[in-house]
Structure 1
Amino acid sequence: MPRRRVAVALLPPAGLSAKIQAVRSLLGDPRIDRLAPHLTLVPPVNLADQDVEQLQGLLRSVASATTPFTLTLGPVSSFSPDTPTLHLAVQGDLAALRALREQFRVPPVNRPEVWPFTAHVTLRDSVPADQIPPALHLFTGELPPWPVSRLYLLEFSPLNKAEVWLPIIEEPFEAPVVVGRGGIELLLRTVNLLEPRVAQLFTAIGCQLAAEEEDLSGLMLVVAERLERPGVPVAAAIGTVAGKTAELLQFCVNSEHRLVGIGRQVLMHWCAEAARRGAMRAVASYPLQADSLLANSLLANSVASEATTSLISAAEVLQGCGFTPVGRSMLRELLVYSGE
C-alpha cells in the first residue's frame, strides 16, 4: 500500500517568510523553491492513509487547545561540526513551543529522536565547512516578532516534475465555531490556506482552481464541515481582506448539502470574520461567474453548464445575506464587528 510522506510544522506569516527567503537566497539555498520557511515540530515520516487521517485529527485537537504565543528568529547559527547547517536561532516563548511539540510525541508520529530538539528555522541544510564562519555574520540581529497562531500539515509531493513540500492542512489555535444547534450542525473554520480538500469542492462544480498559483497568502476562507464528519468540507467561501474592504471571490456548497441554509451560514460567518479583521464593507462580483473570477487568478476554467447555473444562483444567496446590487457588483456594509 502506498504511503504518504508528511510533516507537522509552523509556517511564518507572509511578511516574515519573505525576509527569511531573502536570507536563503543570499546563501544560495538549492531548496528555496521547494520548501517554504518553517519550524519543524514533527520531522518527515511515512504514513498510511489511515494514519494520516489520525494525524489530521490530532492536529486539530492540539491546535484547538493551544494558546497563541510569540517567537523571534535570529541570528544566523549552525549545528556545525555535528551537521553543516545554517539556520535562524529561535527565541521567545520556547516553553510554549516545547509544550506544543510534546503533544505530538504520540502515535502515529512518535519516533526516536536522532538529535535533541533545538528549535530552528533552516536556511540551508548543507554548507561547505569553510563557508560557515563568514555566513554567521550575514545576519546577527533579530527579525520582527512572529505571532504563532496555527499549525500546518505538510506533504511531500511531485509538482511540475519537481519534488516539493506543500502545506495541505491548516489548523488555527482556536476550536471551530459550531452553528446550527438543533438542526444541521456545522463546524466553521477560518483559515488562510486553500487546502486541496477544499479546492476539490470547486472542481466538483466545474471550477478548476489554479494549482500553480503560488501567492495565496492574502486569502481568507471559511470552511464548513458537518459536526458528525469533521475534516470533510461541505462548503467554503474564499475572499481577501485589504484595509476596509473585503472581496468575496467565490463560494460553493457540496451538491449533497444545498438548499438547506449551509451557504448562508458560511457567507454570514465569512462577513463576520472580515469585519473582525477590520473590513467595513464586503464586495462581490455580480453575478459570480467564472470570467470575473479569472481576473483574480483563482479559476482556470468553468466548462459545465451545471457549474454556470450554480455560480449565477449565488447572487440570490448573496442577497439573502444582506448584499445589495450596485452596478456590476454586490455590496454589504459590515459596520463594526459584532460576532454575528
Structure 2
Amino acid sequence: MGTVTLGVSIAVPEPHGSLLQERRAGFGDPAAYSIPTHVTLLPPTEVEAGRLPAVEAHLAAIAALSDPFAMRLEGTGTFRPVSPVVYVKLAEGTDGCDRLQQRIRDEAGPVPRELQFPYHPHVTVAHGIAEEAMDQAFAELAGFEAAWTCCSFALYEQGADEVWRKLCEYEFGSGRAITAVPAQGGSPVDEPSTTR
C-alpha cells in the first residue's frame, strides 16, 4: 500500500490564517501557499498507508478527551542560527498544545515520534529564505496579535506536489470528525476574537 506523509496541527482561523499566509508569501517564502497557517502538533511523519484508520481513531479519541482552550499569538521570534525560521509567538495556549502533542506522539499510539528539537509551539512566517527577508518578517510582524478559542485540531496529508491538504478535523469534547472542510484556511469550529 505504500506510505503517506501526515501531520497534525491547529489551524490559525480566519481572517488571521490568510493574512499570515499572504505575508509569508510576500516575504518570498515559496512554501507559503503549500502550507495552511498553523501550530504544529505532529511534524511531518511518514506512516504506512494501512495504518491511517488507526491514526484517525487515535486522534478522535484524543480530541474526545480534550477541552477547548484559549490561543493567543503575539509578536515574533526566531530559531536562527540553529534553524532558518522566523515565527509568530504563541503567548497563550502553549500548555494546551504541549498536552495534545504529547498524547498524539505517545509511544503506545500509532504515530510514536521522537522530535529533533524540544517542542516549541509557534506559527512559522518565514523559512529558509534570504536573511534580509527573514529580518523583514521579524520586524514587520513584531506587532501582530490574534486570539481565538481553539476547539479542534486537524490531520493533514502532504501530496506528491508537496502541498498539505486537510483530511479531517477533530472536534474537542466529542472527537467528532469533521470532513469536507477547505484544504486552506482556518478551522470551521474555531472562534476568532481579536487581531491588530
TM-score by length of 1: 0.50
Write out per-residue CA displacement over residues 8-52 of structure 1, whole angstroms, 9 at most, x where no aligned residue.
111121212122123213312211221111111111111113322
* Cα distance, 1:215–1:111 mapped onto 2, change above 3 Å: closer
Aligned pairs, number: 187
The residue matched to 1:10 in structure 2 has which SS?
A: strand
Q: 2:142 aligns with which of 134, 140, 144?
A: 140
Whole-angstrom CA distance in 2 between matches of 1:163 and 1:97: 25
Gaps of 5+ in 1: 177-188, 196-212, 221-340
Indicate yes or no: 2:180 matched with 1:194.
yes
* Cα distance, 1:215–1:61 mapped onto 2, change above 3 Å: closer
* Cα distance, 1:8–1:218 mapped onto 2, change above 3 Å: closer
Gaps of 5+ in 2: 190-196
Paired position in structure 2 for 1:173:
172
Moved over 4 A (4+): 213-220
Kept in 2, the 8 Å contact 1:16–1:146? The answer is: no
The residue matched to 2:162 in structure 1 has which SS?
A: strand
Write out per-residue CA displacement over residues 123-182 of structure 1, whole angstroms, 9 at most, x where no aligned residue.
122122344334321121232203211010000114xxx331101011111216xxxxxx
* Cα distance, 1:214–1:82 mapped onto 2, change above 3 Å: closer
Kept in 2, the 8 Å contact 1:86–1:127? The answer is: no
Whole-angstrom CA distance in 2 between matches of 1:121 and 1:216: 13
User: Which one scores higher on RCO, CA 8 angstroms, separation ≥ 6?
Assistant: 2
Structure whose CA Rg is larger: 1
Indicate yes or no: 2:4 matched with 1:4.
yes
Q: Report the alpha carbon displacement of residue 110 of structure 1 after superposing the two structures with TM.
A: 1.6
Whole-angstrom CA distance in 1 between matches of 2:26 and 2:186: 23
Write out per-residue CA displacement over residues 198-232 of structure 1, whole angstroms, 9 at most, x where no aligned residue.
xxxxxxxxxxxxxxx87797979xxxxxxxxxxxx
Whole-angstrom CA distance in 2 between matches of 1:219 and 1:89: 23
Paired position in structure 1 for 2:56:
56
Write out per-residue CA displacement over residues 89-138 of structure 1, whole angstroms, 9 at most, x where no aligned residue.
11103222211211112232222221111111111221223443343211
Q: CA RMSD in A?
A: 2.4
TM-score by length of 2: 0.84
Q: Within 5 A, what are the aligned runs for 1:42-191?
A: 42-106=42-106, 107-158=109-160, 162-175=161-174, 189=176, 191=178
Kept in 2, the 8 Å contact 1:6–1:156? The answer is: yes
Write out per-residue CA displacement over residues 245-295 of structure 1, whole angstroms, 9 at most, x where no aligned residue.
xxxxxxxxxxxxxxxxxxxxxxxxxxxxxxxxxxxxxxxxxxxxxxxxxxx
Question: For residue 78 of structure 1, what is the amino acid of its counterpart?
Answer: T
Kept in 1, the 8 Å contact 2:74–2:145? The answer is: yes
Identical pairs, percent: 22
Question: For residue 53 of structure 2, what is the amino acid of its counterpart?
Answer: E
